[in-house]
Structure 1
Amino acid sequence: MANREASHIDDIARTSLDDLINQYQTTKLGLNDRQAAQRLEKYGENTIQAGAHRSELLIFIENFTSLMAILLWISGIIAIFAGMLELGIAIWAVNVINGCFSYWQQHAAQKATDSLKRLLPSYVKVIRNGQAKQIQVEKLVPGDLISLQAGDAIPADARVFSTANFQVDESSLTGESVPVEKNDQYRAGDGEFAQANVVFAGTIVTSGTANALVFATGMSTEFGRIARLTASQKKVVYPLQRELNRLTRQLTLIAILIGVAFFVLAIFFVHYPVAKSFIFALGMIVAFIPEGLLPTVTLSLAQGTQRMAKRHALLKNLSSVETLGETTVICSDKTGTLTQNQMTINHLWLSTGQFDVTGTGYYTNGVIQVNGQPVALKEASDLTMLVQIATLDNDTEVVEGKQTEKSKILGTPTEAALIILARKAGINFGEIKQKFSRLKELPFDSTRKLMSTITKTPAGKIQVNTKGALSSELQICDRILANGQVRPLTDQDRQMILAVNEKYAREGLRTLAFSFREVTAADPLSGRNLSDYTIQSAETHMIFVGLAAMSDPPRPEIFEAVKKCHQANIRIIMVTGDSPITAKSIATRIGITSPSARVVTGDQLAQLSDHALQQIVRNEVIFARVAPEDKFRIVSTCQQNGEIVASTGDGVNDAPALKRADIGIAMGITGTDVAKDAADMILTDDNFASIVSAIEEGRTVYSNLQKFLLYILNSNVPEAMPSVVFLLTRGLVPLPLTVMQILTVDLGTDLLPALGLGTEKSEPGIMKQPPRPQNSHLLNKSIIWKAFGLYGLWASVISTAAYFFVNYVNGWPNAALMTSGVGYAKATTMTLGAIIFCQIAAAMNCRTQLSSVFSIGIFSNRRIWLGIVAEILLLALLMNVPFLQEIFNTGPLTTAEWGVLFCIPIPLFLLEESRKWLVRRLKDHQSTKNN
């Protein structure tokens, strides 16, 4: 929160109720209808505007305007003006199909929703004209008086002026997992949104009731400020988009330069007419522009998206699949992301010792299992008393969910944890409340930090049960329960209890203290009326029983997930609104950081310069008590350091950082709609471990992109070689491959095996490698060498030889056979067939980078084999269907010629297997030598 805004909230919190009423020109009877109507016109409706929704038409058009798509549109125009209508239509068809598919994927993954507006309640109870009435929340205006109760979503920022046991869950704004107590007294508190007498839009009432004066509605609320902040963040361009744009520019430049060179050579070397030279040059451009790259990439990313959906990760944009594989830093929220957002009792401390009730600690049939050792309840009467107080001094209910539904908490998570503890003890919540009938309650308040209930025991005695902060409990206790006996509470006891409490605090645990007191005949309250049981008279001379230490526990699977992140050289930075002690305890416990990690609070962060923050985020660090602006500042700073940042979160406060990050990851179950809208990926199981699986999938997708890039590009050389032969012979040897045949390879036969490469599984050890450097590229030296100098060279020699082979069989050097008729069509068909069968070998060779294909199974990828069968069938159709023969200038081959084609892949595959074996041997030898 900016200093000015923080000051504004503080001013309202400090102002007396009477002055605030005057300031907002209202009364204790509320606004009248005329005032409300005027203010509604002035301030507008109480709605959150998530930003202007872009038209579906604009989103649809964007799928047809990428750099590669524009290049294909232009190529189609050139082809049509050059008289090659079929070629132009084919190129445009590729663009249309790919654009429609991309739009369909995008539209299916992310439907336009106004989630911020949905998060607000539909109706609110206000005081107008001196009467309580229900109005639509959109009609709420500054100056309105509203009534709130448990379960209500707070509709606007408001100043509280009366409360009864009122608590609010602000986790969607602050990340703090424990509800905060609110009352009519000013208390600044620690961190943002901490004013005790102010409530904020978008938070939830967990218990009690309150009346409040609205001072901000709609986009003027803190909720609206975060929405505006989120909308103002422009989404960064995905690394894959940048890389594909770079690759497109590279390939376009290469294709145009080659086309220009061949155009000039055709005119001055072969003495072709200008028009014919242009068509010839266009054929070269078509040969070097991988028209199939865009649809292949799109389909491969879609396949990766589908595989990730099965692993509980929904991606809203196809390009974000690969971004995960590049991730170097994860800025993770704590509550609900790394932890379960469910308070759990860890330890119970009594004067007789500590009981660990995590994991194996539970009660069954009157026996408690403590660290695996059974203890009869009669031998643990102190423990029984603590659980009994926790049950009686409790206003929360846990409603069991039906079948697969989660249980619902009606009250506070802290009291719910006590109910769960009682259930583990075999205590029926309803039965014990019947046996110990409640006579009166002394509600919790932030001043004394205690809650007490006055109950009647089954024996007919009056008992006072108290729970609350240890500091307050020790002030009202003068005795202690020890082994079922009551004795005086000594200074030594007090020091011991405080030391234990401090130990729990260092471990990030919160504590509640418990005490009780029976009203005996000698007690001053004996025989008195219930009205005489006041805080002063009842909460005194109490018997201290013990402590319950609790925490929001880490998710069970988080430990292995964090370990995998570290193995993959991915750093995790915890960014939370929770307290520094709790944040560091959790981060250290699950292995995100070492105990020596630095903790930076939001206040400290505000004092840091950008340069200082850049240095801090390069090392182990935890950020606690941070505001929304702080979160995306941290993300931005990591990006300035050259990191690819994934940011996780589930609350409204996480939305700006989720949108600013290279990839935002929202929780699907506990996440707010605001977070989901801002994110690129949604975890359907709220499982941090799913992020690790998604990162592995992203790395695999990138590896597979390189595999089929190699596969697609290696056919460019044999496609271009016929034109080289044509030039070198000054046109004596006619073009062994036509432009339409080139397009057949790029858009037809190459496509299906390439998609098969996109489904290859992760190669071993992919998650033990560091993220790829940002200065590395899809088209690297290794791919260029293999595509143009190895696979491409082999295919060029073989396909050119196939052309001359057919001509030789048919009477070469008969010029008439070479330039027209069946002989020429058959020769070009053989050239096309040779390129296709060389691509069959390339598809198998591209399946691994160094491993032998035999090690992963020759037939383990069925999609590649289906693609190979499909391209052979397509070649057969082009050869034998008359109207296709006319379009593609093809003719039928003999059985012997088919036999030659089928023999081509075998030596190429074995040659590459031998090369990979040799490289592996050299690497193993070098590794052994170094060791």
Structure 2
Amino acid sequence: MDENKIRELYAQNEVQQVFTNLQSSSSGLSDEEAAERLKKYGANTIKKAAAESEWKTFFKNFSSMMAILLWISGLIAIVSGTLELGIAIWLVNIINGLFSFWQERAAKRATDALNNMLPSYVEVIRSGKKKQINSKDLVPGDVFVLQAGNSIPADARIISASSMQVDQSALNGESVPESKTVKYDPGEGSYAESNLVYSGTTVGAGTARAIAFATGMNTEFGRIASLTQKQTKTTSPLTAELNRLTKQISIIAIAIGLIFFIAAIFFVKYPLAKASIFALGMIVAFIPEGLLPTVTLSLAQGVKRMAKKHALVKELNSVETLGETTVICSDKTGTLTQNQMTIHYLWTPANEYHVTGNGYVNNGQIELNTKQLWYEENLDLRKLVQIAALDNDTSVQPNKKGGKPKILGTPTEASLIVMAQKAGFDKQKALVKYPRLRELPFDSDRKRMSTIHRWDDTHYIVLTKGSYSDTIKQCDRIQVNGKIRPMTEADRLRAKKANADYASRGLRSMALAYKIIDHDVDVNKINIADAESNLVFVGLATMSDPPRPEIYDAVKRCHQAKIRIIMVTGDSKLTAKAVAVQIGLTSDKARVISGNELDKMSDEELRHALKDEVIFARVAPEQKYRIVKNCQANGEVVASTGDGVNDAPALKQADIGIAMGMTGTDVAKDAANMILTDDNFASIVAAIEEGRAVYSNIRKFLTYILTSNVPEAIPSVLFLFSAGLIPLPMTVMQILTVDLGTDMLPALGLGAEAADPDIMKQPPRKRSEHLLNKGVIIKAFCWYGLLSSIISTAAYFFVNYQNGWPNVALAANGSIYMRATTMVLGAIVFTQVANVLNCRTNTVSVFKKGLFKNKNIWYGIIFEIILFFILTVTPGIQQVFNTTILTMSDWLFLFLLPVPLVLLDELRKWLMYHHKNI
């Protein structure tokens, strides 16, 4: 039978019929029967999707397209006779794979620790006696007890209840608690049946007994978790882009190798075997062996920086995906807002009072000091505060560690208690003076709650609070400036207008009223209808779940970065739009689409709506998933935030799923790519900035590493196309020295580069824009590469010029040739020193960013200079790499090389910054 039909069956049947269907009774099951059912239905737990084996995860880090290219590259090097080179390339691959595996394993351990919660217990009725058991041992047919603060362990039918209210925000995203009674009422929205409670939700107030009809994966919580686990994750944008780049580089390297092979045969007349080895060496030289470790290091550095900002990333590639985000589909409750109801205005027929952090402002003009017990000076406010505090079952317990106070009860009543405390009202003293005699609990029919107190020696007082529409009709009198008079139609219209005005701003209004009754009435026998009739209307208390303080700046930064935020919430349309407009998420013209309206829309209509300002309210789990999927169909890179089980399918489908660590459910955390350990939306913006920095750093690395390929290739071109008349200015081993030796550490330093100052003022990169784009090619080959080629080639000819060229032939061997090739290698190394500094920024001056700020780059520069020095002075190594000792004037020339190159590029950046069209 369909899950919805089963729910309806348990909701609509009488309690006795429910007992019969579940073969249970009000005395509960026996331990023997419960044990049998536990074998049949299994443990009451949410099963996680089968985890990928550690071995599979391990080998995955060695089988990407770039990793495969490096395995092949190493094999080519070994075949071409350079065993040491092949082993070095393979070691680079192995070290990178191990590092990547270690990073992801560390992230998984941190996530598991975050999800590792203490076992929960539930009080059940077994054979007529109360018994505490582990909630995982609960079975269908078990009768269990609920009270304020309890997590509900299973889907169940209420069989008795007193003032029961349940926070279902983890399941339906609705910030307002649902009232629960034995009587059936279908309610409004998802999971709103008045006599059903659901696994994963929390009791806000009251007490109840319920009988479980679904446990574990058969609950609504489990059903959504199952839906999440059936989804498969798509390839991350970075993985797809690296695969594309690998193909591009492979094609370029093979094409260059083929050209050099043909040229070596036809121009230099090399034998086939020698030409093959020469060509294979050039192929290896043009493959950026440092790309994979640089990408991994960039991602790892991003993960590390994000962890310090309370964002735990589970997969390395998720860091860069954040940087591509174009749309954030965000829940409202607990994500954009604080999930904490707060009083904003107190309204009496005589005036309106704005509630602030320190006091209350009368019509925005007179600030009243809370320490002076301001409400005592105003009879209407005094009565309103008195009702709010005394007609209230919620208590607020201070946190001894200085954190948020603990609320025992509903958020709505908590807001009234906090307001009264701010006013200086002492509830305990008031209860001594006006002891509570009876409570008329809240129910979903009346939508009111009343308490009866001793008022004086001859009177009782009835204090009532409830929804505006259901309370105002019980009032026939009104209190204005402390005086009671009959309520007129004009009074009702003014109150109605005030309530409508607050509703239009997304605020909830609660009406407060009272009446005095004589002592000759038996308060224990008075019925609810008589107690709550002929009330005196005092005023309204208006409240909302306020936005997080940091959300305003976070939204502003998203807009600057051209990132859209789409609110997807289970809350009402009015509340959703009011919050969205208040925090600057959308304009007042934004379209609000309800879950019911969404059901009637085709995917094409939805995709069209998603292109404009839009808010989604009263949505079900499957609908949020559908919204994310259609955003992606529009070509968007989607980040989806959430904390409840209802968010899990969307989190899994999204390009980047972001779960809340403090309030999030385990299902949401399992489905997400990233977890915010402080539940702070602003951390998402910081994470996006890091993601953009990672991609930018990979592109900077690519520019840098490709730059050296130009001066490496030009000497070979001169040799080949001069038919050998120009002796080879740079050997294959020297080329590989640059790629695998001197370039490696400075390139890795670029992976740790901080974000450029203007990175969050640029739009997200388009999917059609690739790592190896026109800008990278022009900068690497036609600017940095060209300058390096001119300088390194000039160094070769200058050494020969000092020794008689062009009057004598270019040296093909001997000390002059060794010095000339060493100078070519040295010129490339030292121009790369300038290039790595130049690549640190795109348009901003490197001096403005801080010339010495990235210490990793300077460690790399020092390393490459020392390595070059060792290559030039060490016997044995000199012969392998065709180098020799340089003169002091040679070293002076090399050390001065970076200065003009850096200054020249600073001029280019200045021109680009001030003239965008250049």
Q: Same fold per TM (> 0.5)? A: yes
**Counterpart of 1:191 in 2: which secondary structure?**
coil
Would you say the 8 A contact 1:236–1:661 is kept in 2? no
- Counterpart of 1:204 in structure 2 is 202
1:594-630 residue CA offsets vs partner (Å, 9 max, x unmatched): 2222111112111211111111111111111111111
Is the contact made by 1:360 and 1:371 (CA closer than 8 Å) also made in structure 2?
no
Which residue of the partner structure matches residue 244 of structure 2? 246
Q: In structure 1, how many angstroms separate the alpha carbons of the residues matched to 2:863 and 2:366? A: 63
In the alignment, the residues of structure 2 paired with residue 307 and residue 460 of structure 1 have an alpha-carbon distance, to the nearest angstrom, of: 69
| Alpha-carbon separation, structure 1, partners of 2:571 and 2:366 | 30
In the alignment, is residue 95 of structure 1 matched against residue 88 of structure 2?
no
Residues 280-319 of structure 1, C-alpha deviations (whole Å, 9 max, x = no match): 1121112211111111222122223333333333333332
* Aligned residue number for residue 905 of structure 1: 898
Q: 1:265 to 1:586 in 2, by over 3 A?
A: same
Distance in 1, matches of 2:194 and 2:675, equals 34
CA drift of 1:4 comes to 4.2
- 8 Å contact from structure 2 (residues 592, 616) kept in 1: yes
1:877 CA drift (Å): 2.2
Letter in 2 for 1:31: L
Q: Which amino acid letter does the alignment assign opposite residue 372 of structure 1?
A: E
Shift of 1:422: 0.8
Distance 1:24 1:124 in 2: 19
Amino acid at match of 1:674: V
Structure 1 equivalent of residue 861 of structure 2: 868
Correspondence list, 1:312-711, <5 A: 312-359=310-357, 361-362=359-360, 371-372=366-367, 376-457=374-455, 461-519=459-517, 523=518, 526-711=519-704
Query: Which stretch shows the higher mean deviation, 570-579 or 804-813?
Result: 804-813
- Residues 681-728 of structure 1: per-residue CA shift (max 9 Å, x gap): 233332222322332333333333322211111101112223223322
Q: Distance in 2 between matches of 1:693 and 1:733?
A: 54
Deviation at 1:409, TM superposition (A): 0.6
Indicate the RMSD between aligned Cα atoms, in angstroms: 2.8
Distance 2:695 2:34 in 1: 58
Judging changes above 3 Å, is the alpha-carbon distance between structure 1 residues 424 and 607 closer, same or farther for their aligned structure 2 residues? same
Rounded Cα–Cα distance in structure 1 between residues aligned with 2:565 and 2:724: 63
8 Å contact from structure 1 (residues 368, 425) kept in 2: no
Q: Does 1:134 align with 2:129?
A: no
**Aligned pairs for 1:727-806 within 5 A:** 727-731=720-724, 733-806=726-799
Q: Deviations over 1:856-877 (max 9, x none)?
A: 4544544433432232122112
Q: Do the aligned residues in 1 keep the contact of 2:375 with 2:385 (CA within 8 Å)?
A: no
For residues 670 and 137 of structure 2, the distance between their equivalents in structure 1, rounded to whole angstroms, comes to 25
CA–CA separation in structure 2 for the residues paired with 1:452 and 1:555: 33
- TM-score, normalised by the number of residues in structure 2: 0.94
Distance change (3 Å), C-alpha of 1:309 and 1:40:
closer
879-888 vs 424-433, which moves further: 879-888
**Structure 1 residues 238 and 824: alpha-carbon distance in aligned structure 2, compared to 1, 3 A threshold:** same
1:308–1:697 CA contact under 8 A, matched in 2:
yes
What SS does the corresponding residue of 2:473 show, helix, strand or coil? helix
SS of alignment partner, residue 690 of structure 1: helix
1-side partners of 2:399 and 2:65: how far apart?
52
From 243, 260, 263, the counterpart of 2:261 = 263
1:851-866 mapped onto 2 (5 Å cutoff) = 851-866=844-859
- What do the CA deviations read for 1:812-864 (whole angstroms, capped 9, x no partner)? 79999956676655443322211111111212332333344455454454443
2:168 alignment counterpart: 170
Q: Note if contact 2:791-2:827 (Cα within 8 Å) is conserved in structure 1.
A: yes
Match of 1:154 among 152, 173, 184: 152
Q: Give the SS at the match of 1:665.
A: strand
CA contact (8 A) 2:375 2:423 kept: no
Q: Is the 8 A contact 2:726 2:810 kept in 1?
A: no
Task: State whether structure 2 residue 714 is matched by structure 1 residue 716.
Answer: no
User: SS where residue 832 of structure 2 aligns?
Assistant: helix
Q: Aligned residue for 1:220?
A: 218
- Cα 1:218/1:394, change in 2 over 3 Å: same
- Which residue, out of 715, 718, 736, partners 1:725? 718
Identity of aligned residues (%): 60
**Matched position secondary structure for 2:130:** strand
What is the CA–CA distance in structure 2 between the aligned matches of 1:674 and 1:185, rounded to whole Å? 31
Q: How does 1:37-116 map to 2 (within 5 A)?
A: 37-111=35-109
Aligned partners of 1:116 and 1:673 also within 8 Å: no
* Inter-partner Cα distance in structure 2 for 1:118 and 1:907: 58
- Preserved CA contact (<8 Å) 1:351 1:482: yes
2:11 — aligned with what?
Answer: 13
Cα distance between partner residues in 1 of 2:755 and 2:110: 34
SS in 2 for 1:372: strand
In structure 2, relative to structure 1, the CA distance for the partners of 1:190 and 1:116 (3 Å cut) is: farther
Note closer, same or farther for the CA distance 1:533–1:613 as it changes in structure 2 (3 Å cut): same
Shift of 1:493: 1.8
Partners of 1:880 and 1:827 lie apart in 2 by 15
Q: Which has the larger displacement, 743-752 or 637-646?
A: 743-752
C-alpha distance in 1, partners of 2:676/2:115? 22
Question: Aligned partners of 1:345, 1:765: CA distance in 2, in Å?
Answer: 39
Aligned to 1:929: none
Q: What is the deviation of 1:425?
A: 0.6
> Over residues 176-195 of structure 1, what are the superposed CA-to-partner deviations in whole Å (9 max), with x where a residue is unaligned?
11221111111111111111
Structure 2 counterpart of 1:124, which letter? V
In structure 2, the CA distance between the partners of 1:467 and 1:902, relative to structure 1 (3 Å rule), is same
| 1:836-847 superposed matches below 5 A | 836-847=829-840
| 3-state DSSP of counterpart to 2:109 | coil
- Residue 280 of structure 1 aligns to which amino acid in structure 2? F
Aligned with 1:532: secondary structure?
coil
* Cα displacement string for residues 100-125 of structure 1 (whole angstroms, at most 9, x for unaligned residues): 22122222223286799967953322
Question: Which residue identity lines up with residue 554 of structure 2 in the other structure?
Answer: A
CA distance in 2 between partners of 1:918 and 1:47 (Å): 63
After superposition, what is the alpha-carbon deviation per residue over 1:616-663, rounded to whole angstroms, capped at 9, x for unaligned? 111111111111111111011001000111111122211221121111
Structure 2: tracts of 5 or more residues without a match: none
For 1:371 and 1:244, the matched residues in 2 are separated by: 63
Q: Specify whether residues 494 and 852 from structure 1 end up closer, same or farther in structure 2 by C-alpha distance, changes over 3 A only.
A: closer
CA, structure 1 residues 509+725, in 2 after alignment: closer, same or farther (shift >3 Å)? same
Call closer, same or farther: CA 1:88–1:822 in 2, change over 3 Å. Answer: farther
**How many residue pairs are counted as aligned between the two chains?**
915
TM value normalised by structure 1? 0.93
Closer/same/farther in 2, CA of residues 115 and 207 from structure 1, 3 Å limit: farther
The letter for the 1-side match of 2:563 is I
Structure-2 separation of matches of 1:884 and 1:336: 64
Distance 1:359-1:720 versus aligned 2 partners, 3 A rule: same
Distance in 2 between residues matched to 1:207 and 1:370, nearest whole Å: 38
2:871–2:883 Cα contact (<8 Å) kept: yes
Q: Deviations over 1:145-185 (max 9, x none)?
A: 22222222111111112111111111111111122111111
Query: In terms of mean alpha carbon deviation, does 451-460 or 293-302 score higher?
Result: 451-460
Q: Which runs of 5+ in 1 are unaligned?
A: 927-931
